[in-house]
Amino acid sequence: MSPRRKLSDARRRQILKAAVQVIAEKGLCDTGIKDVADQAGTSPALVIYYFGTKDALLAEALAFAEDRFYAHTADAVAGMASARDRLVELVRCSCSVGEAADDFDEWVLWLDLWARAAHKPDVARDRQAMDRRWRTTIGEIVRQGQAAGEFAPVDADAFALRLAALIDGLAILVVLKDPDVTRERMFDLCMQTCAGELGFSWTAADQELLTRPRRAAASG
C-alpha cells in the first residue's frame, strides 16, 4: 500500500468518525455535508469526493460503527467455550450494559438508516446486508449451542429473527430515553427471552454480575 493510499484511509476513517458524531447529535435531516467536514477538519469537497451523498455517508458511517461493534464483540467472546456465554456477551454488547453511557449513541444512526432505507434503494441494500450479518451471527451461536447440547432444538433462524427484532424494538425505546426501559432492563428482557426459548437458566444474580460496570467487575 502506497503512503498516499494510507493517508487516504486515515482521512476516510476520520470523516466517518465525524459523521457518526454529527449525525448522532443532529439527525440526518439537519446534518449538512459541511457540518461533517467541519467536525473532521476537512473540506466539504473532500467529503463529497469520498462519499458522494449524505445518504451514502450515513450508510458508510453506520457500517463503520458496526465493524467496530463486531471487532469489540469478537474480542469480548474470544476464548469463551460455552455458546450460552457467547450469546449472553453478544446481547450484552448490543445493549451496551456495563459500558460508558454514550456507547449507545450510535444506535441513533439506525433510526435514520431505517427512515432513509424506506425511500432510497442503495440505503435499503446496505441495511439488508447489515441486518443479515447480525442475524447470521446470532443463528450461528444458536446452532453451535444446539450441537453442544446447551440449547433446545428451536428453529435457529426464526429465533435469530425474533431476537434481532426484539433487540431493535427495545433499542428504539432506550435510545429515545423511554422512562420504562433502561439498558439494563433491555438486557434483562432479551435474556429472559433467550433463556426461555433456548432452555437455559437466567437469574437475577447473572443479571447483576453482568450489568456491573466492566472496570468494577474486573477489579472486584
Cell of 106: 450510535
Does residue 34 belong to the site contacting its own copies (CB under 8 A)? no
Site mask for its own copies (CB under 8 A), range 183-212, x = bound: ------x--xx--xx---------------
Q: Pick from 7, 129, 158, 217: which binds its own copies (CB under 8 A)? A: 158
Closest approach of Cβ 105 to its own copies, in Å?
A: 10
Q: Pick from 32, 52, 169, 199: which binds its own copies (CB under 8 A)? A: 169
Q: Pick from 66, 99, 103, 168: which binds its own copies (CB under 8 A)? A: 168
Q: Which residue number, 25 or 75, has a Cβ lying nearer to its own copies?
A: 25
Q: Mapping DSSP to helix (H, G, I), strand (E, B) and coil, where does residue 115 land?
A: helix
Residues 6 or more apart whose CB falls under 8 angstroms from that of 84 comprise 145, 150, 151, 198, 200
| 167 membership: H or E segment, kind and range | helix 156-175
Q: Pick from 175, 194, 198, 210: which binds its own copies (CB under 8 A)? A: 175
Q: Pick from 84, 86, 92, 127: which binds its own copies (CB under 8 A)? A: 127
Sequence-ordered strand ranges (E) for the chain: none
Long-range contacts of 209-217 (CB under 8 A, 24+ apart): 210/88, 210/92, 210/97, 210/98, 211/97, 211/98, 211/184, 211/187, 212/98, 213/98, 214/98, 214/99, 217/98
Q: Which residue number, 80 or 158, has a Cβ lying nearer to its own copies?
A: 158
Closest approach of Cβ 19 to its own copies, in Å?
A: 16
How far, in whole angstroms, is CA 100 from its chain's centroid?
Answer: 14
Secondary structure letter of residue 177 according to DSSP:
T
- The CA distance from 120 to 117, in Å, is 5
Q: Which residue number, 88 or 164, has a Cβ lying nearer to its own copies?
A: 164
Closest approach of Cβ 40 to its own copies, in Å?
A: 21
Q: Mapping DSSP to helix (H, G, I), strand (E, B) and coil, where does residue 121 land?
A: helix
Q: Which residue number, 14 or 105, has a Cβ lying nearer to its own copies?
A: 105
Closest approach of Cβ 64 to its own copies, in Å?
A: 19
Does residue 130 belong to the site contacting its own copies (CB under 8 A)? no
- The CA distance from 15 to 37, in Å, is 7
Q: Kindly list the residues in this chain that would bind its own copies in the complex (CB under 8 A).
A: 26-30, 108, 111-112, 114-119, 124, 127-128, 131-132, 135, 158, 161-162, 164-170, 172-173, 175-181, 189, 192-193, 196-197
